[in-house]
Structure 1
Amino acid sequence: MGTSDPAAQWRVEFDAEVVFSNGGSLRTEGFRLDIPGDDISDAELGELLVRHLGLLMVERTTITRKQLIREPHKGSRGTEGSNGERTVVDLTGEATTAALPNGLELERSVDLPVALVRLLGAEKPVADRLALAALELAGHAVLVHTGTDGPFLTDEAAELLVEWGAALVASDARGPVPDLLPRAGVPVVTGLANLDALPPFGTRLHAVPFPGADGPPRVRVYAVAGE
């Protein structure tokens, strides 16, 4: 069973070959996947790879190299799970700021399903279109976890978020943010804290503005997991 504690999460880096029953094959080198525990057999890893990629007509998988790595889960498909416990994570930090459209209705920023993009350890921790392409974005709060304070989104990624109807965009980074998002009326929250405590799946975000606050908009942001 998986765990939401990032200190207890494991991933596996491996090389593999997938052979298809209708001909052809697929090879991976240095591929990484989340695993639910601290170990995994070659057979289980082969099945996990097939589920993650959504492969059909697979005849066999062969794992040629495997290395276990302790690091937070990134959200590999096919590894979804919950420990069944409801957890509330406060994401508001000292640097949390918001760019909110005028007249924002509360239902547009609370109880939103989360699409989590983890870029920790990436050579360039900035989400582009490809980083978002596999995610469900419409009506979701898109959280980009970078571990840095710089830009976290390319202009092209912002275009995709607007095109696909993201409800809110947020990050632990502090920007700058592409101008397209506020122009399109998409709420943006930056400088979040504790994103490493979020599980890859099954989280809902609440960003509650302080009514009548002077100066830049202020919000209290928290996430609820395990419901």
Structure 2
Amino acid sequence: MLDYRAEFDAEVALEGGGELRARGFRLDIPHADVTEVEVTALLVAALAPQRVERAEVRGIRILAEPHPAAGRTPVERVRYVELSHVIEAGLVTFPGLPGPEITPHLTREASRGVYAPGTEFSIERISMVGNTGTYVDSPFHRYPDGTDLAGLPLERLAGLPAVVVRAVGGERGVTAEMLAHVTVAGRAVLLHTGGDRHWATPAYATGAPFLTADGARLLVDRGAALVGIDAVNIDDMSPATCGERPAHSLLLAAGIPIVENLTNLRQLPPCGARFTAVPPRIAEFGTFPVRAFATVPVEDPQT
């Protein structure tokens, strides 16, 4: 069994001024096939609590080393935090869109005539729009030539270092000013607005929190990997906007997936968690529900 490290050169610009340059820098990596995006995200996480404005890596070389003998390396303990809403028949996620229809395709009773005695199965059928429950938007949702669900790279969806932006009880819009001092490069930026407290009620879509255009532009410019929100839409849906969707347009044009209708973000620390929200690989499809969750390190009481 092998452990892997990445060796690379790096240039890092820190928020508030200052630069770091490294040659032959080494980091532990989870597998041998890491991408440049993954290595950059790991570098940014390793530099915490320093806030990184821009990070570039090059000349990546993968090193394999024998795994230490059993009992010599402590196992990381984590707790899992569920960040998805439950999908049920008839659930209304977005005003004007139909709720899912869940019906039996093969009942357990009917299956008894198909399988051996004592063996039975149930197969269900679901009909729903992609914008149901907690779901991810791919660039194809907004742009006809954008990446669809099948093309979304896993490094944009799984095991991302997360930063949680608290925006509860203030203005509806999450602005660039509110994000200015947050390290976002290579991270899942999760906007905790408290909007999920109204889930599955008429109030959920009324005066909902959102990400402003200048906030979205900052996240694009600083290299966020993914952006999520615990509200009905990442854009302002008020009639005064006349249907404009600047956050969707800017983020998806930059290839940044969006996860809407998150919940339980209050249970996450501001940083240190890892975020995952992976949809099925469906071609020519723009949005689909995800099982979003985070892992949070737990201190070993024996250490």
State the TM-score, normalized to the length of structure 1.
0.58
Task: Give the aligned partner of residue 111 of structure 1.
Answer: 159
The answer to whether the Cα contact below 8 Å between 2:159 and 2:276 also exists between their aligned partners in 1 is yes
Task: Give the aligned partner of residue 224 of structure 2.
Answer: 166
Which structure's CA Rg is the greater one? 2
In 2, Cα distance between the equivalents of 1:184 and 1:112?
A: 17
Gaps of 5+ in 1: 1-83
Task: Give the aligned partner of residue 97 of structure 1.
Answer: 135
Q: 1:133 aligns with which of 180, 186, 202?
A: 180
1:179-214 deviation per Cα after TM superposition (whole angstroms, max 9, x unaligned): 211122110001001111112221110111123397
RMSD: 2.2
The answer to whether the Cα contact below 8 Å between 1:126 and 1:146 also exists between their aligned partners in 2 is no
Code of the aligned partner of 1:86: V
The answer to whether the Cα contact below 8 Å between 1:128 and 1:156 also exists between their aligned partners in 2 is yes
Question: What pairs up with 1:29-44 in 2 under 5 angstroms?
Answer: none
Code of the aligned partner of 1:172: D
Measured after TM superposition, the shift of residue 107 of structure 1 is: 1.7
Task: Give the aligned partner of residue 72 of structure 2.
Answer: none
Gaps of 5+ in 2: 1-75, 87-132, 140-146, 196-203, 236-246, 299-303
1:100-146 deviation per Cα after TM superposition (whole angstroms, max 9, x unaligned): 13211112211111111011121x13211111111111001000011
Q: 2:292 aligns with which of 214, 221, 224?
A: 221
In 1, Cα distance between the equivalents of 2:77 and 2:160?
A: 19
In 1, Cα distance between the equivalents of 2:271 and 2:85?
A: 22
Task: Give the aligned partner of residue 257 of structure 2.
Answer: 187
The answer to whether the Cα contact below 8 Å between 1:139 and 1:166 also exists between their aligned partners in 2 is yes
Question: What pairs up with 1:63-102 in 2 under 5 angstroms?
Answer: 86-94=78-86, 95-101=133-139, 102=147
Q: In structure 1, the residue corresponding to 2:287 is in which secondary structure?
A: coil
In 2, Cα distance between the equivalents of 1:151 and 1:223?
A: 22
Measured after TM superposition, the shift of residue 215 of structure 1 is: 7.6
Alignment size in residue pairs: 144
In 2, Cα distance between the equivalents of 1:180 and 1:221?
A: 23
State the TM-score, normalized to the length of structure 2.
0.44
Q: In structure 2, the residue corresponding to 1:131 is in which secondary structure?
A: helix
Q: In structure 2, the residue corresponding to 1:220 is in which secondary structure?
A: coil
Code of the aligned partner of 1:204: R
Are residues 144 and 219 of structure 1, via their aligned partners in 2, closer, same or farther at CA, if it must alter by over 3 Å? same
Task: Give the aligned partner of residue 274 of structure 2.
Answer: 204
In 2, Cα distance between the equivalents of 1:200 and 1:180?
A: 25
The answer to whether the Cα contact below 8 Å between 1:142 and 1:166 also exists between their aligned partners in 2 is yes
The answer to whether the Cα contact below 8 Å between 1:210 and 1:220 also exists between their aligned partners in 2 is no
In 1, Cα distance between the equivalents of 2:254 and 2:134?
A: 21
The answer to whether the Cα contact below 8 Å between 1:140 and 1:166 also exists between their aligned partners in 2 is yes
In 2, Cα distance between the equivalents of 1:137 and 1:155?
A: 16
